[in-house]
């Protein structure tokens, strides 16, 4: 599981930074999930080598243009590539009307089913491996954050132990992996718990939209392995951040710290900040939450299990 940043600038694109978008790169069968879709997002995906035909779900945090203006073009291009796989689109109230009117007025016809869900707080998606929960944030318009929860996974089989016990490779391995005890032809009972490594807790990624500091942001980020939080302003501009419904570097760090998160990625930087300012912005947050980094366009961040460095 990896998170690819496609746009990390607030409000408008600047040299080297596009407006907001990030892609969660999942195992093959789950493809790509996109979070926000600022203008030019499909160009960023092409530059990153991510195929639109792999895109399965899009989550929009709020309706401001720097988070949505790339959506109509991306939907159209995905259709022109010939894919017929359905696409799920989630976001705030008004998203369905805006998308449908834009497509109708531009005579854009999609060759796949577009399933649009206008979200409310709570669980909005679940399959056998992943669950997505959303809640409201505090911005100038209705805005949501998303918490992606990977369900706990059974531990790996202890292959050397199984070989030593004389368990033949094949269906019995699958039964043991699924938690079933098996009996060998000689009567030896092999208990799944005895030949399986401890279960792994699932990973948690929290992607927050634009927001002032708020209790819901902390709840969405609780215990997360990775939190993506806007830091539109530096610590000296706290009053401006409050007035515009945004957060500072230090406020983002406070949210991650209060939530007990493992790692914080700052994004959505005001155009007033240059690349030379990024080190200072990171240091402001690290004073409170040391595991902080600033995101950059095309950065790929691996989401690791708390107890493993290679997953």
Please spell the DSSP secondary structure of 131-186, one letter per residue: EEEEEE--SSS--EEEEEEEPPBPPPB-HHHHHHHTPPSSHHHHHHHTT--EE-TT
Residue 307 lies in a domain: no
Question: In this predicted structure, what is the pLDDT of residue 250?
Answer: 98
Last residue of a domain, which of 194, 219, 245? 194
Residues in the chain: 311
How far apart (Å, rounded) are the C-alpha atoms in residues 111 and 160?
Answer: 50
Residues 124 and 229 in one domain: yes
Q: Summarize the annotated binding site as residue ranges.
A: 62, 64, 66-67, 139, 210, 268
pLDDT band at residue 162 under the 50/70/90 scheme: confident
- Calculate mean pLDDT across residues 161-186: 87
Question: Could you tell me how far CA 189 lies from the centroid of its own chain?
Answer: 43
Residue 308 lies in a domain: no
Note down the domain range covering 238.
Answer: 2-153+200-302
The reported pLDDT for the residue numbered 311 is 44
Residue 266 lies in a domain: yes
The chain-wide mean pLDDT, for the chain, equals: 94
Statement to judge: residues 75 and 189 lie in one domain? no
Domain holding 131: CATH number?
3.60.15.10
Each residue's pLDDT tens digit, 22-73: 999 998 777 999 999 999 999 999 999 999 999 999 999 999 999 999 999 9
Same domain, 31 and 148: yes
Among the options 66, 135, 234, 297, which is catalytic?
A: 66
- Both structure tokens of 223: 């215990």
pLDDT digits (tens, 9 = 90+) for 182-208: 889 888 998 988 888 877 789 999 999
- Rounded Cα gap, residues 163 and 137, in angstroms: 53
pLDDT 10s digits, 213-268: 999 999 999 999 999 999 999 999 999 999 999 999 999 999 999 999 999 999 99
Closest-CA residue to 158 (of 171, 172, 173): 173
d(CA 80, CA 116): 20
Contacts of 182 (CB under 8 A, 6+ apart): 167, 172, 175, 176, 189, 190, 192
Q: Is residue 310 part of a domain?
A: no
Question: Residue range 99-107: average pLDDT?
Answer: 98
- Choose among 187, 196, 200: nearest CA to 162: 196
Residue 37 shares a structural domain with residue 78:
yes
Q: With respect to residue 227, please indicate whether it lies within any of the assigned structural domains.
A: yes
Residue 52 counted as domain residue: yes
pLDDT at res. 163: 87
- Residue 258 domain flag: yes
Burial label, 74 (beta-carbon count in 10 A; 0-12, 13-18, 19+): buried
Which one of 194, 219, 248 terminates a domain? 194
**Residues 236 and 174 occupy one common structural domain:** no
The answer to the question of residue 265 being in a domain is: yes
Q: Look up the pTM and report it.
A: 0.88
169/249 same-domain check: no
> Is the separation of the CB atoms in 1 and 260 below 8 Å?
no
**Contacts (Cβ under 8 Å, ≥6 apart) of 14:** 271
Residue reference for tokens 């979200």: 119
Measured between its terminal Cα atoms, the distance across the chain in Å is 8
Q: Determine the Cα–Cα distance for residues 75 and 110; give it in Å rounded to an integer.
A: 8
Looking at the 3D structure of the chain, how many domains does it have? 2
Burial of 292 (0-12, 13-18, 19+ CB in 10 A): buried
131 and 80, same structural domain?
Answer: yes
Q: How far apart are CA 224 and CA 229, in angstroms?
A: 12
Provide the β-strand partners of residue 21.
7
66 an active-site residue? Answer: yes
Residues 15, 144, single domain; the answer is yes
Is residue 310 very low, low, confident or very high in pLDDT (cuts 50, 70, 90)? very low
Q: Do residue 149 and residue 52 come from a single domain?
A: yes
Residue 175: what pLDDT?
Answer: 87
**Confidence band for 307, pLDDT divided at 50, 70 and 90:** low
48 and 118 in a single domain? The answer is: yes
Nearest of 120, 173, 115 to residue 144 by alpha carbon: 120
CA distance 189 to 175: 13
In this structure, are 21 and 84 located in the same domain?
yes
Contacts of 159 (CB under 8 A, 6+ apart): none
Does one domain contain both 215 and 186?
Answer: no
Cα separation, 55 vs 86, whole angstroms: 9
Number of other CB atoms surrounding residue 138 within 10 Å: 17
Binding-site residues for Zn(2+), please?
62, 64, 66-67, 139, 210, 268
């Amino acid at each position: 599981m990896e998170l690819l940043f496609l746009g990390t600038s607030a409000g408008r694109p600047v040299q080297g930074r596009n407006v907001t978008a990030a892609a969660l790169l999942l195992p093959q069968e789950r493809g790509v999930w996109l979070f926000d879709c600022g203008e030019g997002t499909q160009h960023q995906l092409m530059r990153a080598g991510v195929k639109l035909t792999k895109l399965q779900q899009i989550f929009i945090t709020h309706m401001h243009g720097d988070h949505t203006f790339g959506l109509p073009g991306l939907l159209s291009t995905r259709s022109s590539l010939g894919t017929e796989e359905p696409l799920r689109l989630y976001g705030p109230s008004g998203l369905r009307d805006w998308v449908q009117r834009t497509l109708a007025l531009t005579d854009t016809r999609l060759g796949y089913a577009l399933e649009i869900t206008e979200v409310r707080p709570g669980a909005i998606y679940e399959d056998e491996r992943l669950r997505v929960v959303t809640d409201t944030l505090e911005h100038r318009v209705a805005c949501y954050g998303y918490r992606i929860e990977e369900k706990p996974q059974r531990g790996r089989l202890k292959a050397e132990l199984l070989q030593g016990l004389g368990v033949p490779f094949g269906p019995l391995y699958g039964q043991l992996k699924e938690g079933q005890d098996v009996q060998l032809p000689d009567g030896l009972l092999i208990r799944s718990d005895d030949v399986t490594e401890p279960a792994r807790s699932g990973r948690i990624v929290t992607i927050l939209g634009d927001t002032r500091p708020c209790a819901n942001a902390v709840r969405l980020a609780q215990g997360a392995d990775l939190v993506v939080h806007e830091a539109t302003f530096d610590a000296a501009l706290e009053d401006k951040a409050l007035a515009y419904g945004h957060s500072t570097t230090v406020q983002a760090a406070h949210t991650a710290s209060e939530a007990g998160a493992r790692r914080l990625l700052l994004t959505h930087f005001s155009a007033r900040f240059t690349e030379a300012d990024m080190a200072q912005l990171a240091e402001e947050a690290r004073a409170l939450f040391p595991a902080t980094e600033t995101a950059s366009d095309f950065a790929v961040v691996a989401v690791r299990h708390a107890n493993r460095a290679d997953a």
